[in-house]
Amino acid sequence: MADAPPEVLELNVGGVHYATTRDTLIREPDSLPAAALQDPDHPRDARGRIFFDRDGVLFRYVLDYLRDGGLVLPECFREHKRLAREAKHYRLVGLENAVREADPRPPNRERGCITVGYRGSFAFGRDGLADVKFRKLSRILVCGKVTLCRDVFGETLNESRDPDHGLADRYTSRFFLKHSFIEQAFDMLQENGFKLTASCGSGTAGGAAELKPGVDSEENRWNHYNEFVFVRE
């Protein structure tokens, strides 16, 4: 005699609907989904679906864990703390541990703010490319707490203008990078959990003052200064 097909159940999680089997929900006997299935008083919606008043989008990972017994997250996933909180609510200790292990950010990392700024211009093309303008950066400045700046930029940080004075919680506005690639600086901040929260830019009235020797008048006319504020919470 053929086995009976598994019973299909519908769930309503924060307004997002899912379909799964009874066997999936009871796979972790001590979990909240298993308990809800056995509890006749657990809330249900108007169509009789088991209801959880939680994040409906993140529940997909909870259901995947119950189905497969493992955790696979998208490469760009950034909500580890929220998913760990959901796992704790559903009483899935294995999932909660897996989420924390998958979080690329250190658990006790220091919070803070780093400001990156640069003064630049446009270098004009030569050899028949006079109409082509290339961005030209003279120096990328780094301001913030010294320990944070060192943690993010490491060996690419030039501290020669502000040598260490032995103070643990010192701030500086005199560091700069050993390279002039602003996108590389942004990548390093992003990899360390910083997010861009504000930016500003200004131009200078180049050309009015007397130029320094070797400074191109057209490049001087396009001088500008930009600042970017990054925060890690």
Could you tell me if 134 and 179 are in contact, meaning their C-beta atoms sit under 8 angstroms apart? no
Mean pLDDT for 72-84 is 88
Q: Which domains does the chain have, with CATH numbers?
A: 8-102 (3.30.710.10), 112-206+215-232 (no CATH)
Report the distance separating Cα 21 and Cα 16, nearest Å.
17
pLDDT in tens, 91-130: 999 999 999 988 876 667 788 999 999 988 877 655 545 5
Q: Would you say the pTM of this structure is higher than 0.75? A: no
Report the distance separating Cα 15 and Cα 57, nearest Å.
9
pLDDT greater than 80 at residue 174: yes
Report the distance separating Cα 219 and Cα 216, nearest Å.
5
Grouping H, G, I as helix, E, B as strand and the rest as coil, residue 195 is strand
* Token pair of 93 as six digits: 């200790």
